[in-house]
Structure 1
Amino acid sequence: MHTQIGIVGAGPAGLLLSHLLHLAGIDSVVVERQSRAHVEARIRAGVLEQGTVDVLRESGVGERMLREGLVHDGIELAFRGEKHRIRFPELTDGKRITVYGQHEVVRDLIAARLAAGGPIEFETEDLSVHGVQSDRPLIRYVKGGVQHEISCDFLAGCDGFHGVCRQAIPAGLMQVFEKVYPFSWLGILADAPPTQDELIYSNHDRGFALYSMRSPEVTRLYLQCDPADDIANWPDARIWDELHQRLEGGDGWRFREGRITQKGITAMRSFVSAPMRHGRLFLAGDAAHIVPPTGAKGMNLAVADVRRLARALDTFYASGRTEALDTYSDLCLKRVWKAQRFSWWMTSMLHRVEGATPFEREIQLAELDYVTSSEAGARTIAENYVGLPFD
C-alpha cells in the first residue's frame, strides 16, 4: 500500500492530523498497536486550551465537546488555608478553558475518521518504521498473522513517549533534554458530582493536591506522593482523608466523596527531543515532548504540533514549497519550551519539596501570594493557562 502520509499512533495527535489532512484532500493511514476499545478508554488529560477548542470546532469535530464540555472562567490557587481565584476572561481578552476528557476527544476523532472512510489499522504487532531519511519511508506491521507494508511520502510519529518512531532516528541526530521530578501524582476518578465549578490547585504542608472534574457526574482528584510509593499502600479511606486535609480550608467548603473507579500513580517528568524532524519523519505530541501535568499542556501541545504540520503539508502538496516543513521543528519547539517553562514553574510553586529549607518554603509561599495579589502576576498564569497563540 502507498499513502501520502503514514501516521503511527491513534492518540489525539495522530487522529487529529489524519482528520486535518483529510479536510485538505491529503491521504493518510493511521497505524496503532492497541485495539480501538483500548484507545478510546485511555483516561488522560482533560483541560483544553482555547486554541485547542477552536481547532476542534473549526475542523468539524467539536459538536459533542461544545455540548458536553465544562467551560471554566478561572482556577483557584489554595495556600495557607485560603483560596484565591485567577479570572481568565478579563486577563486574556475573553479566553477560557474547557474540561473535556482526552478519551472523549479520541472517540470523536475516531468516529469522524471512520465516517469519512479514513483507514485506521488497530491491533497491529511488530510495528516498525524504516527509511526515515529516504524519499520513500515505510511502516511495517503484522495484523492477523499477515505482514503488511505501507510506503509513504512522509511519516508522522504520533506514537507517544515509548513509541517506535523516535527510536528509529539514527544515533547522534537527536538531542534530548530531560528533568525527572522527585515526586509523583496519585490520581483517582470517582463517581461523585463535582462540588466546585473550577479546578483548585492546593499548596499544602502535607503536599500538593488538585481538585478537578471530568463531567457533571465524575470527579478527578490528585495527590502528591513519593515516586517509589505503591498504589497498594493507598486504600480508598486513606486517599479521601488526605484529600480532605489538603484541599479543605477554613471557609467551610467540603467536597463529595464517591466510589473510586480508577486510581494510579504517575511519574512527573519534563522531556524534549530536538529536532522534531528527521528526513521524512516528523515527530508530534508525546513522541517529541512530555510536560508535567501541572500546567495542563500535554494534549494541547500535540494539537498545536499537528495543526502546524497539517498546514505545512497542505502547502507542500499545493505548491511544492517546503519552507513550512523546513521550519516545523523550530517553530513547534519555541512553543514547547514556553509550555515547559510554565509547567516547571507551576510545578515548582505548588509542590512540597523534600528537604526544602524554611527560607525556600517561605519563598514558595511568597510567589503564590504575589501571583494572586498582583494583576501582572495573575495575568502571567492566565495567559499561559488558557494557551499561548498557536501561530
Structure 2
Amino acid sequence: MKTQVAIIGGGPAGLLLSQLLDLHGIDNIVLERRTRDYVLGRIRAGVLEQGSVDLLRAADVGERMDREGQVHDGVELSWHDERLQIPIKDLTGRGVMIYGQTEVTHDLYDARDARGGAVIHEADVFAIDGIESDSPVVRYLKDGQEHTLECDFVAGCDGFHGPARKAIPAAQRREFIREYPFGWLGLLSETPPAAHELIYASHDRGFALCSMRSDVLSRYYVQVPLTEKVEDWSADRFWDELKMRIPEDVAAHLVTGPAIEMSIAPLRSFVSEPMRYGRLFLAGDAAHIVPPTGAKGLNLAFSDVYYLHRTLDAFYSTNDTDALDAYSDLALARVWKCERFSWWMTNLLHDFPDRSDFERRMQKTEFEYLLQSETARKSLAENYVGLPY
C-alpha cells in the first residue's frame, strides 16, 4: 500500500490529524494496534481548552460537543477547606469545555467513517524504515501477515510505549523525565457532579479532584501511594476517603453510587526532543507526558496536531520545506510551557512524602499568594484555559 502520510496510532490525536489532513486533500492511513472497541472504551480526560474546541470545530467534528458539552467559566481550588474560586473567563475572556475524551474519539471515528477514512485496526507496527529518506516504509503485522505501507511522511501518534519515538536513533534523542511518588486513583460513577465547577483539593491526606463528564456522569480522583492496588479499593472506601479531602459542605451533599470504572494512573512529566527526525514527526504522548493536574494531556496533543497538519499542508500546497524544519521547535516551545504549568499545579496541590517542613510552608505560602494576588490568579487562569497556538 501507498499513502502520503502514515499515521501510527488511532487515538484522538491520530484520528484528528487524519481528519484535518483529509480536509486539506492529503491522503493518509491510520494504523492502530488495538480494536476500535478498545480505543472507544478508554476512560480519559474531560476538559478541553478553547484552542482544542476551535480545532475540533475546524475539523467538522464539533457539532455534538457544542450541543452536549458544558462550558465552564471558572475552577475552584481548596486548601484544607479554604476555598478559592478562579473566574477564568473574567480573567482571560475564555472558558473551557467539559466534554469527555471518549466522546471526542466517538465523534472523530464518526467523521472518519463519513469521509471514508482508512483506519486499520489490530495493526501492530514493528518497524519504521527509511525515515532519513524521501520514502519511509512502515511495516506491521495484521492477522498474522506482514504488511508494508509506503509513504512520504510518518506521524507517530502512538503514545509513550509505541514504536515511533524509538525509531529515532538514541544518539539523536534527549529525554527529560520526572517521576512522581504517587498516583491518582480514579472512579467514574453515574451520579450528578459534586459541584458545577471542577474542585482541585489539597489536604493532609493527599490531593483530590471532583470533576464531571456530564450532568449525570462524574469522575473523581484521590492521590494514593504507588504501592496501592486498585483491587484493594471498594467504592465505599473510595467515597469515604474522598469526603475527608474535599470541603465539608461539598462532602455533605455528595451523591455516591456504584463505580462504573476504577483505575490507578501513575504521574510523570516527560519530554523527548526533537519531535521531528527526517520524515518522522511525533505528536502527543509519543513525545511528551504531563501529570493530569491541570488537564493538559489531550490538549497538548491537539496543539501538536494543529502545528503538524499546517506543516504538512504547507509542504504539499507550496512545497514549503521550512515548515518541516520548524515543526519540532514550534511544538516544543508550547510543550515546555504546558509542562511547567502541570508541574507547578502538581507541586502546589499534592502531598509529597519526602517534602521538608520548609517546602510544606512554601507550598502553603504559594496558595496564600493566589488568595491575595489577582495577577497570580490571572496567570493560573491563562494557563488553565490554554496558551495560544
Fold in common (TM above 0.5): yes
Who is 1:28 aligned against?
28
Amino acid at match of 1:290: I
Q: Deviations over 1:13-50 (max 9, x none)?
A: 11111111011110000000101111111111111001
Amino acid at match of 1:369: E
Who is 1:44 aligned against?
44
State how 1:211-290 maps to structure 2 within 5 Å. 211-249=210-248, 254-290=253-289
State how 1:190-201 maps to structure 2 within 5 Å. 190-201=189-200
Equivalent residues of 1:126, 1:141 under 8 A apart:
yes
Amino acid at match of 2:242: L
User: What is the deviation of 1:330?
Assistant: 0.3
**2:259 counterpart SS class:** strand
Q: Deviations over 1:102-140 (max 9, x none)?
A: 111111111111110110001123543222212111111
What's the % identity of the aligned pairs? 54
Q: Deviations over 1:239-266 (max 9, x none)?
A: 1111000013357752110111111111
State how 1:1-391 maps to structure 2 within 5 Å. 1-92=1-92, 94-125=93-124, 127-249=126-248, 254-390=253-389
Equivalent residues of 1:82, 1:250 under 8 A apart:
no
Equivalent residues of 1:207, 1:223 under 8 A apart:
yes
Structure 1: how far apart are the matches of 2:57 and 2:119? 22
TM-score (norm 2): 0.97
- Equivalenced residues, count: 389
Amino acid at match of 2:26: I
The farther-off stretch of 80-89 and 156-165 is: 80-89
Uncovered stretches (5+) of structure 1, i.e. residues with no partner: none
Equivalent residues of 1:29, 1:119 under 8 A apart:
yes
User: What is the deviation of 1:193?
Assistant: 1.2
**2:171 counterpart SS class:** coil
Q: Deviations over 1:352-378 (max 9, x none)?
A: 111323332222112112113311011
Q: Deviations over 1:71-123 (max 9, x none)?
A: 1111100013122100011111x201011111111111111111101100011
User: What is the deviation of 1:12?
Assistant: 1.1
**2:178 counterpart SS class:** strand
The farther-off stretch of 133-142 and 324-333 is: 133-142
The farther-off stretch of 247-256 and 68-77 is: 247-256
Structure 1: how far apart are the matches of 2:356 and 2:2? 60
Equivalent residues of 1:123, 1:143 under 8 A apart:
yes
**1:272 counterpart SS class:** strand
The farther-off stretch of 233-242 and 127-136 is: 127-136
Equivalent residues of 2:80, 2:201 under 8 A apart:
no
Uncovered stretches (5+) of structure 2, i.e. residues with no partner: none
Structure 1: how far apart are the matches of 2:386 and 2:199? 18
Structure 2: how far apart are the matches of 1:72 and 1:140? 44
Amino acid at match of 2:23: L
User: What is the deviation of 1:324?
Assistant: 1.2
Equivalent residues of 1:45, 1:296 under 8 A apart:
yes
Structure 1: how far apart are the matches of 2:61 and 2:376? 35
Q: Deviations over 1:290-313 (max 9, x none)?
A: 000002101111111011111111
**1:372 counterpart SS class:** helix
Structure 2: how far apart are the matches of 1:113 and 1:250? 45
Taking a change above 3 Å as real, the CA distance of residues 137 and 240 of structure 1, as seen in their structure-2 partners, is same
TM-score (norm 1): 0.97
User: What is the deviation of 1:171?
Assistant: 2.1
Structure 2: how far apart are the matches of 1:350 and 1:123? 40
Structure 2: how far apart are the matches of 1:84 and 1:247? 13
Equivalent residues of 1:81, 1:250 under 8 A apart:
no
Equivalent residues of 2:185, 2:262 under 8 A apart:
yes
CA RMSD of superposed structures (Å): 1.3
Structure 2: how far apart are the matches of 1:112 and 1:372? 44
User: What is the deviation of 1:190?
Assistant: 1.1
**1:167 counterpart SS class:** helix
The farther-off stretch of 46-55 and 133-142 is: 133-142
Equivalent residues of 1:2, 1:151 under 8 A apart:
yes
Structure 1: how far apart are the matches of 2:52 and 2:275? 20
Taking a change above 3 Å as real, the CA distance of residues 184 and 274 of structure 1, as seen in their structure-2 partners, is same
Structure 2: how far apart are the matches of 1:40 and 1:46? 14
User: What is the deviation of 1:147?
Assistant: 2.3
Equivalent residues of 1:85, 1:372 under 8 A apart:
no
Equivalent residues of 1:86, 1:372 under 8 A apart:
no
Structure 2: how far apart are the matches of 1:95 and 1:180? 32
Structure 1: how far apart are the matches of 2:138 and 2:67? 38
Structure 2: how far apart are the matches of 1:143 and 1:4? 21
